[in-house]
Structure 1
Amino acid sequence: MKNARILVVEDQEDLANLLKDYLQQEQWQVDLIHHGDEVEPFIQQHMVDVVLLDIMLPGKNGMDICRDIRKTSDVPIIMTTARVDEIDRILGLEIGANDYVCKPYSPRELVARVKVWLRQKAKPCVPAVIELNTDRLQVSCGDARIELTMVECRLLEKMMSQPSRVFSRSQLMDAVYDDGRIVSDRTIDSHIKKLRARLKIIQPEQELIHAIYGCGYKYEESR
């Protein structure tokens, strides 16, 4: 996708300029922002095709920026950070990031990831085809595949068995834990939170697990 506009949000100016050089080789227009407070006003005033967003920024941090961008825009966001803990990656994906790259990274790899999201953005919207393999504890969509824990697999299997049906937390508990143990609602909510983040990796275009206030959760693919 030539002439795409890429926004690089990175406070390390040397790294930002290096990325700009690599991105411009693809004939893309590149804008640089070094301060978190400037990102949202820029996006509100300009059409951007992909955002490369650092987490640790002066002013507003990348997590808060991502969360607020998602209130008004579905622009692909690739988060870049030196924070490598799994919980940080899951949180980033859960609040709306499309991809997550840990520093230090290869600029060429980042360019390749931008190309993936530009191609994805250019594709016509098609319904998700999600396949669950309970023997391998895997869920896939097209060529994308992720591993699940046993608990996550059982949760997903239960909800996928009757799409659009709302399951209460107690029903989901019974499906996940067959030994009669006592589990709090918060435990189920925590597992659902992690499962949602994993599903975003293989199907970033839509939410597959929906919370129904005061009732529970349901699995439903958009049509």
Structure 2
Amino acid sequence: MSQKILVVDDELNITDVCKKYLEREGYQVIVASNGEEAIEKWQKEHPDLIVLDLMMPRKNGWEVCQQIRDTDDVPVIMLTARGEEMDRLFGLTIGADDYLTKPFSPRELVLRIKSIFRRVNKGNNSSALPENKLIYNSLAINAETRTATVRGKLIELTVKEFDLLWLLASHPDQVFSRNHLLNQIWGVDYFGDTTTVTVHIRKLREKIEEIPSQPKYIKTVWGIGYKFEGRDN
């Protein structure tokens, strides 16, 4: 069965063009014209990927993405006409996997979708991790269930947040550059830049660190990247 893509935009010409190009590539395409309809289609159709416009009536793209991320890790490509740094950073912060600035090439959209699906399939087919559980003080990470707890409390992590945490925690004291983390977690064919890593590290710290501005686990190595520190119980 072909993969299903939900395209959300209030501009009919954009949804028409996207639908045409994506169906030509063999994807099933569902279309929504506003945020409320996007939520309805997402709940009903369970798409494999969502292309989501930022500025829409009823619910904007940020609100839609946040609601979806509460329960679903479906990949999201966000469309924005603004192209401003803060919009891009906020989109990544709330869980968008990639972004495109309007006007964009439909061919580029197809390439980015294929890139995301390759990364997802690679992750699904990856071999078993050498160890299933890691414990550092009050932080416990379980690779088998893909869960993390802090002082016994379950922490909600996105797919990429967990992958990033596991990579760092399973290699304590090893320094990773931002480019290395980007290639390892998002893949060498990812179109974004290392800002993605910075945003995800900040979100991870907010979730697992007692004082995010003074991290105990994920340390910044200035001029290089990050490393994980912690003592086994």
TM above 0.5, yes or no, is yes
Does residue 132 (structure 1) correspond to residue 134 (structure 2)? The answer is no
What is the distance in 1 between the residues matched to 2:31 and 2:80? 16
Structure 1 residue 43: deviation in Å?
Answer: 1.2
Q: Residues 147 and 30 (structure 1 numbering): CA distance in 2 closer, same or farther, change over 3 Å?
A: closer
Query: Within 5 A, what are the aligned runs for 1:1-223?
Result: 3-125=2-124, 128=164, 129=167, 132-133=176-177, 138-141=178-181, 142=183, 143=188, 146=193, 196-197=198-199, 208-212=204-208, 214-216=210-212, 217=215, 218-219=217-218
Structure 2: runs of 5+ lacking an equivalent? 127-162, 169-174, 219-227
- Whether the 8 Å contact between 1:196 and 1:208 is mirrored in structure 2 is no
Cross-structure match for 1:175: none
Structure 1 runs (4+) greater than 6 angstroms displaced:
none
Structure 1 residue 76: deviation in Å?
Answer: 0.2
Structure 1 residue 208: deviation in Å?
Answer: 4.6
In the alignment, residue 116 of structure 2 is paired with which amino acid?
Answer: W
TM-score by length of 1: 0.65
Q: Which moved more, 1:37-46 or 1:53-62?
A: 37-46
Q: Residues 21 and 90 (structure 1 numbering): CA distance in 2 closer, same or farther, change over 3 Å?
A: same
- Whether the 8 Å contact between 2:32 and 2:41 is mirrored in structure 1 is no
- Whether the 8 Å contact between 1:196 and 1:209 is mirrored in structure 2 is no
Structure 1: runs of 5+ lacking an equivalent? 149-193, 201-206
Q: Residues 21 and 147 (structure 1 numbering): CA distance in 2 closer, same or farther, change over 3 Å?
A: closer
Calculate the aligned-residue CA RMSD, in Å.
2.8
- Whether the 8 Å contact between 2:77 and 2:96 is mirrored in structure 1 is yes
Structure 1 residue 146: deviation in Å?
Answer: 4.5
What is the distance in 2 between the residues matched to 1:25 and 1:212? 44
Structure 1 residue 120: deviation in Å?
Answer: 1.6
Q: How many pairs are equivalent?
A: 165
Q: Residues 140 and 198 (structure 1 numbering): CA distance in 2 closer, same or farther, change over 3 Å?
A: farther
What is the distance in 2 between the residues matched to 1:146 and 1:197? 11
